[in-house]
Amino acid sequence: MRQIIFLIILTNTIALKAQLVTSDIDYWIDAGNYKRASELLLKQPNLYTNTVLLDKLGETYAYQEEWDKAIDIYKRLTSLTVDNPSYFFKYGGVLAKKAQNSNPFVGLTLIRRIKLSFKKTLILDPFHTAAHWALIDLYVSLPGIVGGSYAKAYELARQLKQISTLDGFLALGYVYEYDNEPADARISYLKALSMTNSYKEFERNQLNYQLGKVCSDYGLQLDQGIKYMTSYIENHSIKDGVPLEWAYYRMALLYRKKGNEKKALLWINRALEEKKGFKRALEEKQHILAL
């Protein structure tokens, strides 16, 4: 009996210790100290057999823009757990980030793996909204010779519309915009904007940015666009994808189109403080000063 009690105490102590370690790691991740979080994770004896800890380590590497390390972690995770769409999506995401931050030749060598990862995500979870968006973005961004395809982008956007009507109209507008069909893009975006009254808030903060961007680019519902972009900024985290300097730039654009030079200048200066030499922001500042 004494041995059984000892084993129960030992098991509970180990479980409590693991819980405390995870809590400590989450604390540093939430605080934005990803280096400290990764240091703690690397000290865990069961790290490479624990998918939850490995996932956290992959995220900390991604937050630090250590793409090669993040790629290694998510490649391992997709081997350990072959039916988890989240791991395949994150694997595709860090591969895409490496491609964006490498020379064109390296980027080209990664395209096939990126596509396969996002496609595998959709095979495992056909309702994965972010994977639809990622593939759509890939198809419209790439030249046809290396795998770009407007036809496939339109097809994915229509599939997405069956899952989320709002995302679907935004995605269709996005593809039309890239395909140099501004009239069709405007119609799709207007349909998306007409639906937003039925939402108290969006599950994904990215929708606030996308809707605010539409308002700023097309000069539509400017006050509502400011609300969307304000919400995006207030709820922003690194997981949202679009950096804050772009949100500040969009706010400046919205206020310029409203004719409010003072606020437009305030926001464009914030964008330039966030990212020195931000070309689009420098160009926008000239438009604001010309008011």
* SS3 sequence of 65-97: CCHHHHHHHHHHHHHHCCCCHHHHHHHHHHHHH
113, 59: one domain: yes
Is the residue at 75 inside a domain? yes
Q: Helix crossing, 182-195 with 206-218: angle to 10°?
A: 130
Q: Which residue has the higher pLDDT, 283 or 197?
A: 283
* 104: number of Cβ within 10 Å: 9
Among 102, 125, 148, the domain-final residue is 125
Check which CATH number belongs to the domain holding 91 and give it: 1.25.40.10
Residue 126 pLDDT > 50: yes
Position 16 confidence tier, pLDDT thresholds 50, 70, 90: very low
**Among all chains, which residue has been given the structure tokens 């330039």?**
272
Residue 163 is assigned to a structural domain of this protein = yes
Tokens 């403080």, residue located: 273
Asked if residue 288 and residue 214 are part of one domain, the reply reads yes
DSSP 37: H
140 and 116, same structural domain? no
pLDDT category of residue 201 using cuts at 50, 70 and 90: confident
List for the chain the helix, strand, coil content (%; round to 5): 80, 0, 20
Same structural domain, 109 and 156: no
Q: How far is it between the farthest Cα atoms of the chain?
A: 85
Give the up-direction half-sphere exposure of residue 166: CA atoms within 13 A in the CB hemisphere: 17
**Gap between the Cα atoms of 77 and 71, Å rounded:** 10
The residue segments making up the domain with residue 273 are 210-291
pLDDT at 54: 94
Distance separating alpha carbons of residues 38 and 15, to the nearest angstrom: 21
- Binned at pLDDT 50, 70 and 90, residue 21 comes out as low
pLDDT number for residue 140: 94
**Are 119 and 156 in the same domain?**
no
What DSSP character marks residue 242? S
Among 97-111, 171-185, 218-232, 258-272, name the one with the lowest average pLDDT.
97-111
DSSP conformational letter for 48: G
Reported as a pLDDT band with limits 50, 70 and 90, residue 13 is very low
Burial of 103 (0-12, 13-18, 19+ CB in 10 A): exposed
Output 46 or 155, whichever has higher pLDDT. 155
Please indicate, yes or no, whether residues 157 and 97 belong to a single structural domain of this protein.
no
Please check whether residue 27 is in contact with residue 59, taking contact to mean a CB–CB distance below 8 angstroms: no
Within-domain flag for 224: yes
**Alpha carbons 48 and 196: distance in angstroms, whole number:** 44
Looking at the domain assignment, is residue 108 inside a domain?
yes
Domain end among 79, 107, 125: 125
How high is the mean pLDDT of the chain? Answer: 89
Residues 156 and 183 in one domain: yes
Query: Using 50, 70 and 90 to split pLDDT, how confident is the model at 125?
Result: very high
The Cα–Cα gap between 161 and 257 comes to 30
Q: Is residue 76 assigned to a domain?
A: yes
Number of domains in the chain: 3
Decide if 50 is inside a domain: yes
Q: CA torsion, points 122, 135, 77, 23, in degrees to nearest 10?
A: -100
**Pair (113, 149) in one structural domain:** no
Final residue of a domain: which of 94, 125, 156?
125
Are 111 and 43 found together in one domain? Answer: yes
The answer to whether 157 and 189 have CB atoms below 8 angstroms apart is: no
> Is residue 121 located within the same domain as residue 143?
no
Q: Is residue 4 part of a domain?
A: no
What is each CA distance from 188 to 116, 148, 165, 206, 252, in whole angstroms?
29, 22, 11, 18, 24
The answer to whether position 77 is within a domain reads yes
pLDDT attached to residue 22: 64
Percent of the chain with pLDDT over 70: 92
Give the model's pLDDT for residue 4. 44
Query: Is 181 found in the same domain as 98?
Result: no
Count CB-CB contacts under 10 A for residue 82.
Answer: 11
Domain co-membership, 143 together with 66: no
User: What pLDDT digit, counting tens, does each position of 128-158 carry?
Assistant: 999 999 999 999 998 887 888 999 999 999 9
